[in-house]
C-alpha cells in the first residue's frame, strides 16, 4: 500500500494560550487539561515538577508549552478515556510558561513507578514559538539512580549527557519538588529523542 505524505509540523506560535491553556492564562474558555495530573484521592507520593525552558542565550522562554504524560504510582498508564481534568489520576498535564515572571512551570502529580525494567520517568513533549516541531524528552528522578542505570533508554544516552534528563529532588516544608530545567542549546543541552 502506498504511503501518504505526513502533514508538516509548524510552530505553536506565541498565541496558543487561549486555545490550549485558557484557564491557566485567564481566558474565558474552559480547559480540558491543566497542570494537575492527579486527584486528591489516588494514593502515592505527591510531588511537584517545576522548571524553566532556557534558550541559547540563557534566557528563560515565556511562550513555551509543556505536556507531561506518565504512569501512575503502580507503573500503569491510564487506559480509560479521560472524561474530565479532575477525573482521577489522568497522568496527563499541560502548562504554558507565560503566567509568571520567571517563566516557571509547576505541575502537581504523583511519582510514577517504573515497570518492565524501566526506571520511573515522565514523558515530556515541548512546544514553543521558534520551534517548528514538537520535541520529545524524558524526565528521570535524582533519587532513582540505580533504576536509571538499568533503564534501556537512559542507558542509550551518552553518559556525559544523562544528567540533562535528571530532575533534582528537593524537600521544602515537607513538600517534594523535582526541578527539571530544559536547555535548548549550549552546555548541558537537554537530550531530545526522535519518535
18 binds another protein (CB under 8 A): yes
Which listed range, 8-16, 102-110, 113-121, 131-139, lies at the site for Fe ion (CB under 5 A)?
8-16
Q: Which residues of 134-163 are buried (b: 16+ CB within 10 A; e: fewer)?
A: bbebbbbbeebeebbeebeebeebeeeebe
Cα separation of the two ends of the chain: 23
Is 63 one of the binding residues for another protein (CB under 8 A)?
Answer: yes
In this structure, what is the dihedral angle of CA atoms 12, 59, 106, 188, given to the nearest 10 degrees?
Answer: 100
Does 147 help bind another protein (rule: CB under 8 A)? no
Q: Report if residue 14 touches Fe ion, rule: CB under 5 A.
A: no
User: Which span (40-48, 104-112, 128-136, 166-174) binds another protein, by CB under 8 A?
Assistant: 128-136
Comparing CA positions, the residue from 11, 19, 16 lying closest to residue 130 is: 11
**Candidates 40-48, 88-96, 104-112, 140-148 — which segment interacts with another protein by CB under 8 A?**
88-96
The only residue of 1, 8, 10, 13 in contact with Fe ion, by rule CB under 5 A:
13
The most distant pair of C-alpha atoms in the chain lies apart, rounded to whole Å, by 59
What is the binding site for Fe ion (CB under 5 A)?
Answer: 13
Amino acid at each position: 500500500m502506498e504511503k501518504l505524505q505526513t502533514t508538516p509540523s509548524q510552530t505553536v506560535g506565541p498565541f496558543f494560550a487561549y486555545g490550549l491553556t485558557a484557564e491557566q492564562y485567564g481566558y474565558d474558555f474552559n480547559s480540558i487539561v491543566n497542570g494537575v495530573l492527579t486527584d486528591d484521592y489516588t494514593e502515592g507520593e505527591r510531588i511537584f515538577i517545576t522548571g524553566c525552558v532556557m534558550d541559547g542565550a540563557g534566557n528563560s522562554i515565556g511562550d513555551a508549552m509543556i505536556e507531561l504524560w506518565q504512569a501512575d504510582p503502580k507503573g500503569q498508564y491510564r487506559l480509560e478515556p479521560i472524561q474530565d481534568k479532575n477525573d482521577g489520576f489522568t497522568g496527563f498535564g499541560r502548562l504554558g510558561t507565560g503566567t509568571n515572571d520567571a517563566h516557571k512551570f509547576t505541575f502537581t502529580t504523583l511519582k510514577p513507578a517504573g515497570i518492565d525494567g524501566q526506571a520511573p520517568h515522565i514523558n515530556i513533549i515541548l512546544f514553543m514559538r521558534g520551534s517548528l516541531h514538537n520535541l520529545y524528552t524524558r524526565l528521570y528522578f535524582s533519587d532513582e539512580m540505580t533504576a536509571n542505570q538499568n533503564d534501556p533508554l537512559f542507558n542509550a544516552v551518552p553518559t556525559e549527557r544523562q544528567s540533562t534528563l535528571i530532575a533534582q529532588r528537593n524537600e521544602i516544608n515537607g513538600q517534594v519538588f523535582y526541578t527539571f530545567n530544559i536547555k535548548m542549546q549550549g552546555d548541558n543541552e537537554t537530550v531530545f529523542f526522535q519518535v
